[in-house]
Structure 1
């Protein structure tokens, strides 16, 4: 009798908890879980020429403005804008200037340099937002190439 009760108890408990676990989506492998890790992840995807991986680092309605160009909104427009900065064999190096995090938002400022098949350098100011699953994505990215 006690064994049947315990079996029924655990079965009911498992059924009650199942919806909570079913909706608990873990971030994908390679997800940026700390704002200070975004530049490294971006550099890795950039070196691989992985445009879709780069675009996935942005929120669906994120804003990107490169230098004095007009800002673009959304992943499709960001994909098109990034294509002009991808070159096979190019490598990006980044140095943090500042990382400030508060209440699910982070301001990140970096110096970057692209070398190899493409030569370019500059600074970037970025706003990242923590997502419900714990990942951080770009909400705003403002790279400023020099020259």
Structure 2
């Protein structure tokens, strides 16, 4: 079931550094800002969430995040690793408080801001 109350719009600041995307994700996710979450992605981005599924493009990513925020998760920032940047691409990695890892590829846009292109938000550590 989806939340019925109005969702406050969060800061729509743009990512000027690749790791800004992770911080904005936590902020926007915690207030249920689906539009704000989708705005972190390029129009044809790919999201591998929930595990075992792949969503492509803003419309499919929106559907995922509508279900996600309906569950009202309380997101906590994990440990964000330094972004690995090569030209207009960046690899962003966070170790979540659960021990899982979130791994994304971001691309610098023509205006100098960053958006995610590929997002694997739950990557289980290899313990074997």
TM-score interval, smaller chain: 0.7 to 0.9
* Residues 13-72 of structure 1 deviation map (CA, whole Å, 9 limit, x = unaligned): xxxxxxxxxxxxxxx950000012211111111112100000011000000002542211
Q: CA RMSD in A?
A: 2.3
Is the alpha carbon distance of 1:85 and 1:92 closer, same or farther for their aligned partners in structure 2, counting shifts above 3 Å? farther
Corresponding residue of 2:90: 106
Give the 3 Å change call, closer, same or farther, for CA 145–126 of structure 1 in structure 2: closer
- Tell which deviates more after alignment, 28-37 or 82-91: 82-91
Task: For 1:68 and 1:88, locate their aligned partners in 2 and report how far apart those are by CA, in whole Å.
Answer: 18
Q: How many residues align?
A: 114
- 1-structure distance, mates of 2:68, 2:110: 30
Query: What residue number does 2:25 align with?
Result: 42
* Segment drifting more, 100-109 vs 121-130: 121-130
SS at match of 1:134: coil
Greater helix share, 1 or 2?
1
Normalized against structure 2, the TM-score is what? 0.77
Distance of aligned partners of 1:132 and 1:70 in 2 relative to their CA distance in 1, 3 Å threshold = same
1:121 and 1:67, CA in 2 relative to 1: closer, same or farther beyond 3 A?
Answer: farther
